[in-house]
Structures are given as structure tokens and as C-alpha cells.
Copies of this chain bind each other. A is one copy, B any other.
Amino acid sequence: MSGSLPLFSEQLKEAARFLREGNDFLVVSHVSPDGDAISSTLALGEILTQLGKRYTLINESGNPAKFAFLAGDRVILNDAEEPEVSFSQVVTVDCADYARLGRVRDRIAEETPLLNIDHHPTNDAFGTVALLRPDAAATAEVLYALIEELGLTWNRDLATFIYTGLLTDTGGFRYSNTTSGVMKIASKLLDEGVPANTLAERLLERLTFTQVRLLQRGLSTLALSPDGKIAWVSITHSDIEELGATSDDLDNLVSYPRNIEGVELGILFKETKPGIFKVSLRSNGEVNVAQLAQAFGGGGHVRASGCSIPGTLDEVVARVLEEAGKAWA
């Protein structure tokens, strides 16, 4: 992130002015939107409604089915819909760089004023005005400050959108970004009638029948290294085809081997195409899995990374385990 950004309090004033002075906004979040992207989009809609502005909400693929209950009768377009939408200002939410807007970029003329609201530490401060807080847990946390700056009125929907962003980007208040500040905001939002229980159930616990069958299939392959420090599961391409699964359905599978008592390294081998395995690596801290993934041309974080390796399942497992063994050598 640019070192020359104004103080956050100054950024807030500029962002508030940008919203107050414009009249017709396109609000865009990133491709493959997650809970924070969708709820930040919806929150911007509510903010602009309260400010009496016209706006259109959009992202490349629209609102995923699992977030439909949040939107109610609000519309988030996908890029194939309504090609003639006109607007004179853009607000991006939760997009670390301009490329994250995907095909929606083609709608935006270069000179259009753009407000970039985000929390990713890697945000490159694109746009005309930036509202960036790299230490925020979610874009929703940045929006909380903006709503207070604008002096808007809290209501149950607006509070629910902000809570949803906090809930999903902290993994249900479980990740290390679960700060005192996050919980303080959550407390205030609950006073506005946010249904914490319903949101947690629908956003964090709900599974499809396919996901449960895939989980069962994956767990049936569970293996443990002789020292109990590495656990892994695998899903073959024919499993995925047979169960009619998508790559989203596999999101959480790697957490099972990682969460086993005594395990330091949890791995998922997922055959995305015949003979090509996407390998997800999760560490409990002892092993640097960014390095491990790099050995196979992949990358990521110290505790969560991935790479792609061709071969048979047995070959790929053997190669990764051999390389992982070096981490303890």
C-alpha cells in the first residue's frame, strides 16, 4: 500500500465528500465475491439510499445463491446483465487492485472518478480517492467507520450487512484478525437487532448434500504419517464428476486433516483435471507451507498455501511428503 496516503481520518472525510458530491454511482466488488464483498456492496447501497443518490450494484458474476437471503429484493447485477447502465462515479469495495473488478472494468471509462474502499494490505491505492485500512479485519470494518463519519442512521439491514462482513472475514470470530475493535463493533451492531444465530447458521454452517457426500468421500481417504504430524485427504477427478461437485464445494475439506490433534501439516490433494492435482497445504505453525508450495512452483502464506502438481495420486503424495519431510530435517 502506498506510504503517501493521508491519515485515515482525512481519508474518511474525502470519501464522505466523494459520496455526498456524486449523484449516480456504480458500486463494484471483486470477481468470485465472498461474504465481505457482497455485504459491503449491499451496505454501500444502503448508504447511498440514505444519502438520496442513484446507484447500481454489480460484480462480474452477481450475487451467489448462498447470499441471496441477505440481499432480499435488492439487486446485484452480474456483468452479462444491463449493458447500458449509466453512472458518473464508481465505488469499489474489497478490491485490492483494479484487475479484481474483472470484466466490469470494460464498463468504466478511464476518467470516471473512483473511490477505492478496502482493507487488504496489498491494496495499491488505485482510483481517485482511497479509503484504506490495512489493519481492518474486513472491508465492512472500514465501512463502519465511514457510516459513523457520514452520521447515517443504523437500521437492522445496514447493521446486518456490516456484521456479515466481520463474521465471514474473521471465519466466525476465529481467525487472528478477531480484534478487540471487531468485537466492539459487533456488540454495537447486535444492539440494532442483527440475528447473530441465523447469520452464523446460514453463512458458516449450512452445507449442501453434495458437500456432505464429498466430505465423506474425502475423509474416507484420510491418512496419517507414522509420526502423526502430517495428515492428508484426497479427492479424485472421478469423485468430483460423479458427485457433480464444484471447486467451491471443496473449500473446507483441508481443515479436517489440519485440525487433527497432534497434526502440524494438513494437506488436500484435489485432482482438478485428470492427472493434475491442486495441493492445498495448511500448517499449524511449525512448518512454513509458503516455502513448501514454492518448491512446486506454488505460493501463499506461511500457514496456508497451494500448488499444482501433475502425476498419479501416489506420485504426487510421495513427492509432497518427501519435500515436507525436509521441513523437519
Which residue of B is nearest A177, CB measured? B197
Partner of A183, one of B187, B197, B222: B187
0/1 interface trace, chain A 251-269, chain B, CB 8 Å (1 if under): 0000111011100000000
CB–CB B208/A261 < 8 A: yes
A257 to chain B: which residues have CB within 8 Å?
212
A212 to chain B: which residues have CB within 8 Å?
219, 222, 256-257, 260
A209 CA to B208 CA in the complex, in Å? Answer: 24
A150-193 contacts to B, CB under 8 A, are 172-176, 178-184, 186-188, 190-191
A179 to chain B: which residues have CB within 8 Å?
190
**A219-B212, A219-B216 given as contacts; is B200 within 8 A of A174 (CB)?**
yes
CB–CB B186/A183 < 8 A: yes
Which residue of B is nearest A204, CB measured? B174
At the interface, yes or no: A128 with Cβ under 8 Å from chain B? no
Given contact pairs A173-B200, A174-B201, a sample of 4 additional A-B residue pairs in the complex whose CB atoms are under 8 Å apart: A187-B187, A206-B261, A209-B231, A216-B220
Closest 10 CB pairs of A and B: A216-B219, A183-B187, A174-B200, A180-B190, A176-B197, A184-B187, A178-B196, A183-B186, A180-B191, A205-B259
A190 to chain B: which residues have CB within 8 Å?
178-180, 183
**A174-B197, A183-B187, A197-B175 given as contacts; is B219 within 8 A of A215 (CB)?**
yes
0/1 interface trace, chain A 211-232, chain B, CB 8 Å (1 if under): 0110110011010100000010
A182 CA to B209 CA in the complex, in Å? Answer: 34
A318 to chain B: which residues have CB within 8 Å?
none
At the interface, yes or no: A295 with Cβ under 8 Å from chain B? no
A74-133 contacts to B, CB under 8 A, are none
A180 to chain B: which residues have CB within 8 Å?
187-188, 190-191
A191 CA to B181 CA in the complex, in Å? Answer: 9
In the complex, how many angstroms separate the beta carbon of A266 from the nearest chain B beta carbon? 11
A215 to chain B: which residues have CB within 8 Å?
219
Partner of A216, one of B173, B206, B208, B216: B216
CB–CB A259/B207 < 8 A: yes
A58 CA to B138 CA in the complex, in Å? Answer: 42
In the complex, how many angstroms separate the beta carbon of A97 from the nearest chain B beta carbon? 27
CB–CB A213/B205 < 8 A: no
Which residue of B is nearest A178, CB measured? B196
A173 to chain B: which residues have CB within 8 Å?
172-173, 186, 196, 200
CB–CB A256/B207 < 8 A: yes
Some 22 contacts from A to B, beta carbons below 8 A apart, are: A173-B173, A174-B196, A174-B200, A174-B204, A174-B205, A175-B197, A176-B196, A178-B197, A184-B184, A184-B187, A201-B284, A205-B259, A206-B260, A206-B261, A207-B256, A208-B261, A209-B231, A209-B260, A212-B257, A213-B222, A215-B219, A220-B220
